[in-house]
Amino acid sequence: MKKIFSFALVFLLAGVLAACSSIHESASSSSEGTSDSSSDSTEKNEGKFPNKPINIIVAYDAGGGTDTTARSLQPYLEKELGVPVNIINKPGGSGWVGWTEIANAEPDGYTIGYLNSPNFASGLINPTMERSIDLEDFTILSNHVADPGAIVIRVDEDRFTNFKELVDYAKKHELTTTATGVAGDDHLVTLKLNKKLGTKFRAIQFEGTAESRTAFLGGHVDVLITSVGEGYTMHQNKQLEVVAIAANNKSSFLPEVPTIKEAGFDEIISQSTRGLVAPKGIDSEKVEVLQQAIEKAIKSAEHQKKMKKVGTQVDFANGQDYMKLLQQDIEDVKEIKDLLGW
């Protein structure tokens, strides 16, 4: 009886050991298969672009028009690219701190940014500035918006209540205006007003729209020269009043506001364009991926609806057309060098 029991016990232990061995082999085989699969997946992911977050450099303060434009596009660009998109504000030097950082970034496609013109074009022409970069140091991706200039007064202003009264007052008294860079779009409006209308506006330079708007609302500057997109929401909320548009035609966002010409004066035109660029030298396949994603994001119905809500005119242009636009801005600034004493 004991022998039978011993044989049974031995047989049972042998079965258990065999089962454990089988399980171990199965687990080992499964683990090896998972490792190979994971390795293949990693290799495939490493070869895909993009496979990590992309940074968009904005050369002005948070809260300004370019920052708002970038953040409006952000979620739609993330959707198209399949990776996070970070907005990095790099204000300073009237935009040149941020633009220089874009141009000097690693040309791997993971750092792109916004150029603002004519501010950028003006900086290139300004003989008092020594720039280490030029338009040729960028890969031009696409234009995003074109925002006409706007002349703004405070809602509690009692010296003038409309553009005509403002001009009449400024012909007799010096008034300060805001600007965000020598020969930038807002500064040029001030210079053109003085030349064409005989006003006595004096521009005060600020690093960005958020700073200049704060100074204006605080009563430290008389007139805010900005863009429709940057003034639209506060105009609608009656926090400030846009009294004229520096454009050929009225803005569809502010149909009640006249152009300078409609207000009875010589036509003055100014617009700020904001477009996306990258460092020179990026692989052409990566450029194509970025351009296609940017175009789809900009043309997204949801994005355009959001931009309309904040009063900013979407004006998409592909890389080639955007380059022509920037080159034309440079030529336009050259033609008004006399206004700048250049």
State pLDDT tens for residues 273-321: 999 999 999 999 999 999 999 999 999 999 999 999 888 999 999 999 9
CA distances from residue 1 to 4, 6, 8, 10 in whole angstroms, order as listed: 5, 9, 11, 14
Residues contacting 192, CB < 8 A, separation 6+: 246, 268, 270, 336, 339
- pLDDT band, residue 338 (cuts 50/70/90): confident
User: Is residue 45's pLDDT more than 50?
Assistant: yes
DSSP SS3 for 263? coil
**Under a CB-based contact definition with an 8 Å cutoff, are residues 124 and 135 in contact?**
yes
| Residues 95-112 pLDDT 10s | 999 999 999 999 999 999
Length of the chain: 342
In this prediction, residue 337 carries a pLDDT of 87
Map out the domains of the chain as residue ranges: 54-147+272-340, 148-246
CATH T-level topology, domain 54-147+272-340: D-Maltodextrin-Binding Protein; domain 2 (3.40.190)
Quickly name the fold that domain 148-246 has.
D-Maltodextrin-Binding Protein; domain 2 (3.40.190)
Tokens of 213: 């708007």
Q: 198 is written with which tokens? A: 């005989």
pLDDT averaged over every residue in the chain:
88
> Other C-beta atoms within 10 Å of 82: how many?
10
What is the identity of the amino acid at 117? Answer: S
Q: What distances in angstroms separate CA 48 from CA 35, 41, 109, 278, one per listed residue? A: 20, 11, 12, 19
Q: Which residues lie below 8 Å from residue 8, measured CB to CB, with a gap of 6+? A: none
250: CB partners within 8 A, 6+ apart: 257, 258, 259, 262
**Predicted pLDDT of residue 1:** 46
Work out the average pLDDT over 69-82.
Answer: 98
CATH topology agreement for domains 54-147+272-340 and 148-246: yes
Rounded to a whole number, what is the distance in angstroms from the first to the last CA of the chain? 116
Report pLDDT for 35: 43
Given this model, what pLDDT does residue 273 score?
Answer: 94
Asked whether 65 and 209 are in contact (CB, 8 A), the reply is yes
**Spatial CA neighbour of 145 closest among 260, 82, 226, 68:** 68
Whether the per-residue pLDDT at 335 is higher than 70: the answer is: yes
Residue-level pLDDT at 310: 87
pLDDT digits (tens, 9 = 90+) for 127-142: 988 889 999 999 999 9
Residue 112, φ and ψ in degrees, nearest 5: -130, 180
Percent of the chain with pLDDT over 90: 74
Cα–Cα distances (Å) from 137 to 103, 131, 181, 292, 337, in that order, read: 6, 12, 21, 21, 24
Task: Evaluate if residue 325 carries a pLDDT over 60.
Answer: yes
Q: pLDDT-based confidence at 65, cuts 50/70/90?
A: confident
Q: What is the pTM of this model?
A: 0.77
Q: How far is CA 258 from CA 118, 190, 254, 339, in A?
A: 23, 17, 9, 25
pLDDT at 26: 41
* Residue 2: pLDDT band with limits 50, 70, 90: very low
* Plot region of 94 (φ>0 → left; ψ -120 to 50 → alpha; else → beta): left
pLDDT digits (tens, 9 = 90+) for 11-38: 444 444 444 444 344 434 333 444 444 4
